[in-house]
Amino acid sequence: MPKNKGKLVCMVVVFVLALTLSVGCFTRSNAEADDQPAPPPGMPSLKEIYKDYFEIGAAVNLSTINTHRSLIDLHFSSLTAENEMKPEGLQRTEGRFSFQIADRIVNLAVDQGLKMRGHTLVWHAQTPGWFFQDKNGNRIDQKAVITEEDRQLVRERLESHIENVMQYYAGKVYAWDVVNEAISDDGRYILRQDSPWFRILGEEFLEIAFRKAHEVDPDAKLFYNDYNIERPYKLNRTIQMLQSLLDKGVPIHGVGIQGHWSVGDSLAEVEQAIKKYAELGLEIHITELDIGTRDISAQGLARQAEYYRQAFALFKKYSDVITSVTLWGISDAATWRPNDNPLLFDKNREPKPAFWAIVDTDKSWEENKAYYLGE
Ligand code: 9MR
């Protein structure tokens, strides 16, 4: 081969090699870029992360709408009033409805474009005694004989409460816990025997409440809400109660699983329950989620994070039927379980491992935290 031709071939080979390498490099660096986009600046937003799955809600009160306002704004797409919309909050005295306090929460939801869940219309607790007294001030539910007149009076009060409250909040509150905690903890009974509603009106109080609620606001989603109804000791009795209401054509659209759990409680039981409630054709809201741990060592908080991760992975798996997940509070500084540290943010309102764990349930909480905070 002539010397010059050899040199030319050599140059072509070098050129082609260089080109291949640079294309290779280019492609590889692009692939790397796809795998690891630059982390978005700042904290991730739970409501953004879960927007294709379900609403992410928080129970709030008059104090936390101020003290936890920036966390509410960033993370939550739905609010529930922790106490303010219960019967004792709205109608402490017969016929005198006071909506001002609850309105501060409802108006925040409306102004910020958040969903508002109504909690709760009919409950055995946090309901003033006058609901159950006769004209002479005697407790009807404690009488040996309850007359038709007594029953009629209590029925009218039940219906009037639902009518006034739901009419007032129509268009602002999209879903109501119409009846709260009616199932008995005692396996011999379906319904809680110590509820004055049950003692006076019998099991019909459920039907009366749901029918009235639907009549007043036909657009509202009507829920039955209770604790431990995902646990075997209560599940079948709850199904039986709901099925019998549905068979009678009672307008009930969903079931609220409260979710006051502790780290280690069975999630397999929760999954079974979700399937059974979905089979009834009901929508499911997780309405009061908090997952307690007494152990706040690094290891304890990591266990809580892992449990939260698994719980949210489960909720995502069933997001065709689970349309809302509400936490019963925001930080451990303001919770009805102060010794259980059950929420996503700590007493200083800083995100806990549990928060990072649900940011992406396919990854560990450490990975998620490092990714967003660049640590
Ligand atoms: O979190 C609420 C707490 O501030 C009240 O003192 C308590 C009174 O009954 O109710 C708490 O909320 C309950 C909810 O309304 C229904 N499910 C159980 C919740 C925790 O007790």
Q: Atom 20 (ligand 1): residue with closest C-alpha?
A: 336
Q: Write out pLDDT tens, residues 212-249.
A: 999 999 999 999 999 999 999 999 999 999 999 999 99
pLDDT for 15 beyond 90: no
Strands 283-292 and 175-180: unpaired
Q: Is the pLDDT of residue 81 over 60?
A: yes
What pLDDT is recorded for position 37?
Answer: 56
Angstrom CA distances, 153 to 94, 96, 98, 204, stand at: 12, 17, 22, 15
For CA atoms 30, 35, 39, 44, the dihedral sign is positive
Find the 126 Cα to ligand 1 centroid distance in Å: 9
Distance (Å) from CA 167 to ligand 1 centroid = 24
Q: 324-344: b or e for each residue (b if 16 or more CB lie within 10 Å)? A: bbbbbbbbbbbbebeebbbbb
Which two three-digit tokens encode residue 102?
A: 């609850």
Ligand 1 binding pocket mutation candidate from 62, 63, 82, 121 (most atoms within 8 A of CB): 82
Number of H helices, E strands in the chain: 14, 9
Q: Is the pLDDT of residue 375 over 80?
A: no
Q: What is the mean pLDDT of the chain?
A: 92
Is the model's pLDDT at 3 over the cut of 70? no
Any atom of ligand 1 within 6 Å of the Cβ of 82: yes
Q: Which CATH number fits domain 42-373: 3.30.1490.20, 1.10.3720.10, 3.20.20.80, 3.40.50.150?
A: 3.20.20.80
pLDDT at 168 over 80: yes
Stretch 23-45: mean pLDDT: 53
Q: From the alpha carbon of 86, which atom of ligand 1 is closest?
A: 15
Q: How confident is the model at residue 374 (pLDDT cuts 50, 70, 90)?
A: confident
Count other Cβ atoms within 10 Å, centred on residue 58.
26
- Please report the beta strands in 160-206, taking only residues with DSSP state E, as ranges in sequence order: 175-180
What residue segments make up the domains of the chain, in order of their start? Answer: 1-34, 42-373
For 312-348, write each residue's pLDDT tens digit: 999 999 999 999 999 999 999 999 999 999 999 999 9
**pLDDT reading at 310 higher than 60:** yes
- Distant-in-sequence, close-in-space partners of 342: CB < 8 Å, separation ≥ 6: 290, 291, 292, 293, 328, 329, 332, 335
- Measuring from atom 6 of ligand 1, which residue has the nearest CA? 336
**pLDDT value at 150 more than 60:** yes
Helix, coil or strand: residue 64: helix
Q: Return the pLDDT at 38.
A: 57
Instruction: Provide the Cα torsion 176, 181, 182, 187; round to 10°.
Output: 150
Task: Give me the pLDDT at residue 82, please.
Answer: 98
pLDDT at 42: 81
Closest CA to 172 of 88, 125, 113, 96: 113
Give the length of the chain: 375
Q: Whose CA is nearest to atom 3 of ligand 1?
A: 336
- pLDDT, position 14: 46
Q: Which of 55, 82, 181, 283 is catalytic?
A: 181
Q: Judge whether residue 189 has pLDDT over 60.
A: yes
